[in-house]
Amino acid sequence: MPDLYTSNTQTEYQKDQKESIAWWKEVVADVLKNSGEYKRSAVMGAYNILPDQKFVTQQEDEDIVVLLRAHPITNIPWILVAILMLILPGLLVSTGMFAATPIKYLFIGRMTWYLMTLMFIMEKVLYWFYSVFIITNERIVDIDFYNLMFRIVTYANLNHIEEPASVTGGFIRSLFKYGDVWVTTASEKPTVEALGVPYPDKVVEIISRLSEELEKRREQGK
């Protein structure tokens, strides 16, 4: 039985939406193919192509093309600090400077210190995991996570991008293939950045190709 409550306008809109989604999926597939990329997750989850994930404020017809985190090697400085924090109480006790301190106070002091160390480690891990740079079929989303109550989200539509660029330098960055991505935009915030991410040259190539395809689509009136 036909649906008497569905207008022709609504049907045409749904048809246009489906065609638009199909068009974009085709474009994304071509862009990734020309960039030598495919659906994958690499570098311990720091480099993800077509991930099956969602993010805050994601629109209904918006798909994630690339999801980036800082390269795991960028965590080494704070990991070294955490290791030092873990062994520091034992080193101090071994010097004999707390010989006159009652054992129960030493125990409480060490547990408090280890708890602070654990909180430090958790904060760093959460910051690394939830601070992401996302490229979708419509825009670039930069999420800077600071804690469970505070984060900064920056957007840049692909059609507002002027000049993406990558910056790599130094032996370590070249060896592990990571660097910075800078995207100049015509929006209120002139630059969107992804610092210390894997394969920055590849990321810039994907952004450029998606932006070019979007511009072609606009010129064709699609």
Name which of 132, 128, 130 is nearest 141 in CA terms.
132
Q: For residue 70, give the amino acid letter.
A: A
Same domain, 140 and 62: yes
Asked if residue 12 belongs to a domain, the reply is no
Query: Domain for residue 20, yes or no?
Result: no
Structure tokens at 170: 């130094």
3-state secondary structure 90-157: HHHHHCCCCCCCCHHHHHHHHHHHHHHHHHHHHHHHHHHHHCEEEEECCEEEEEEEEECCEEEEEEEE
The secondary structure of residue 48, as a DSSP letter, is E
Q: Are residues 93 and 142 in the same domain?
A: no
pLDDT value of residue 6:
43
pLDDT in tens, the chain (222 residues): 445 444 455 555 455 555 566 678 888 998 999 899 999 999 999 999 999 999 988 988 899 999 999 999 999 999 999 999 999 999 998 998 888 889 899 999 999 999 999 999 999 999 999 999 999 999 999 999 988 788 899 989 998 888 899 998 899 999 999 999 999 887 666 789 999 999 999 999 999 999 988 888 777 765
Q: Are residues 116 and 188 in the same domain?
A: no
Structure tokens at 35: 């960039």
Domain assignment present for 3: no
Give the structural domain span for 93.
Answer: 76-125
59 Cβ neighbours under 8 A, 6+ residues apart? 138
CATH code, domain carrying 149: 2.30.29.30
Backbone Cα Rg of the chain = 24
Domain count, the chain: 2
Rounded to a whole number of angstroms, the distance between the first and last alpha carbons of the chain is 34
On whether residue 31 sits in a domain, the answer given is no
Please tell me whether residues 139 and 197 are part of one structural domain.
Answer: yes
Instruction: Specify whether 94 is located in the same domain as 196.
Output: no
Give me the pLDDT at residue 96, please.
86
136 with 212, same domain: the answer is: yes
